[in-house]
């Protein structure tokens, strides 16, 4: 190869390396701004990390009468970190009879969704790291609350308050933090309400994205690329919460999404028809959790916490 050819090859490599560096840099920027919150700081020690229960049990989330979803489509997928069956189990466990959302199963849902996002590749895993921090913050707040209830102000155990019920559900958390003055409507605070609001917004993004992937061909008879569907879901759910720069960075990040075949493998199916049935059920479950959380935040005027 001549000097000119080698020079041209070197220039092309430098351009590609520069483009990759830019994409990674702006992706890191949006991931820290999408779900930005205060660090998890505890006077009792490092933040606690949640654990995902071992094994998979059958989901008890109610199915639509016409869903036609057989149990063999929602099963454990060998050799895979993300399990759609486990996600549905956690989603079913979140639903309280009084239209509330139980907080610990809700966080377990997010732990499974983190595995899903990490399975989509390095770019999306940046986002999952921010989500993981917020799950940890809320778990730590619940742990602190339970510890204080056990010990009391003078180191004495408080009768009947050993379970830390303030963080039993989303509504109980909202009530407790509002009554204690932990929620600030003017400045950012590491409250559970503010932290969960960021997770709540991201949940809508994922719910819309999975729903769109499960849908059939578009008007032209083609199945859209997951990257395009993820972009559409972002525009509907999150874009209006972000700056112009963050929105442009998101456009670059979505270019690195895996193809549809990889998405089908994640939910352990081989046909788009089966993916539609599985993802349709997941989207309905996520939608119910989102709706209940939205109502709780709306009733207390918490949807615009800084």
Tell me the per-residue pLDDT of 204-227, one tens digit each, with 9 for 90 and over.
999 999 999 999 888 888 899 999
State yes or no: pLDDT of 58 exceeds 80. no
pLDDT reported for residue 152:
67
State the residue for tokens 């670059």.
252
Higher pLDDT, 125 or 155: 125
Q: What is the pTM of this model?
A: 0.76
Cα 23 from Cα 253, distance rounded (Å)? 7
- Sequence ranges of the domains in the chain: 3-37+74-299
State yes or no: pLDDT of 188 exceeds 80. yes
Q: Contact 121/258 with Cβ under 8 angstroms?
A: yes
| pLDDT tens for each residue of 73-109 | 788 888 889 999 999 999 999 999 999 999 999 999 9
Q: Contact 238/205 with Cβ under 8 angstroms?
A: yes
* CATH architecture assigned to 3-37+74-299: Orthogonal Bundle (1.10)
Alpha helical stretches, state H, the chain: 3-34, 84-94, 103-119, 122-151, 170-179, 192-214, 226-237, 244-254, 260-266, 272-299
Cα 100 from Cα 218, distance rounded (Å)? 36
pLDDT over 70 percentage in the chain: 71
pLDDT reported for residue 2:
54
pLDDT reported for residue 127:
77
pLDDT reported for residue 43:
31
């Amino acid at each position: 190869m001549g000097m000119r050819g080698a020079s041209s090859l070197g220039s092309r490599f430098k351009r590609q390396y520069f483009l990759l560096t830019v994409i990674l840099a702006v992706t890191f920027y949006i991931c820290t701004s999408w779900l930005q919150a205060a660090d998890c700081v505890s006077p009792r020690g490092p933040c606690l990390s949640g654990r995902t229960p071992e094994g998979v049990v059958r989901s008890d989330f109610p199915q639509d009468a016409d869903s036609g979803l057989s149990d063999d489509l929602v099963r454990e997928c060998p050799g895979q970190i993300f399990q759609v069956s486990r996600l549905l189990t956690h989603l079913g466990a979140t639903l309280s009879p009084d239209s509330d959302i139980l907080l610990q199963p809700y966080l377990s849902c997010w732990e499974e969704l983190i595995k899903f996002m990490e399975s989509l590749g390095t770019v999306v895993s940046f986002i999952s790291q921010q989500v993981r921090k917020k799950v940890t913050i809320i778990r730590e707040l619940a742990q602190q609350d339970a510890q204080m209830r056990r010990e009391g102000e003078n180191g004495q155990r408080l009768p009947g308050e050993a379970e830390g019920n303030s963080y039993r559900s989303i509504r109980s958390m909202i009530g407790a933090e509002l009554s204690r003055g932990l929620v600030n409507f003017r400045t950012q605070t590491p409250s559970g309400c503010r932290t969960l609001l960021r997770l709540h917004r991201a949940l809508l993004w994922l719910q819309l994205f999975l729903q769109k992937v499960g849908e059939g061909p578009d008007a032209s008879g083609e199945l859209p690329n997951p990257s395009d569907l993820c972009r559409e879901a972002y525009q509907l759910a999150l874009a209006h919460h972000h700056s112009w720069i963050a929105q442009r960075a998101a456009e670059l990040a979505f270019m690195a999404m895996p193809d549809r075949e990889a998405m089908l493998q994640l939910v352990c199916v081989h046909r788009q028809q089966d993916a539609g049935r599985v993802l349709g059920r997941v989207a309905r479950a996520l939608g119910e959790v989102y709706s209940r959380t939205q109502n709780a935040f709306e009733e207390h005027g918490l949807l615009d916490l800084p």
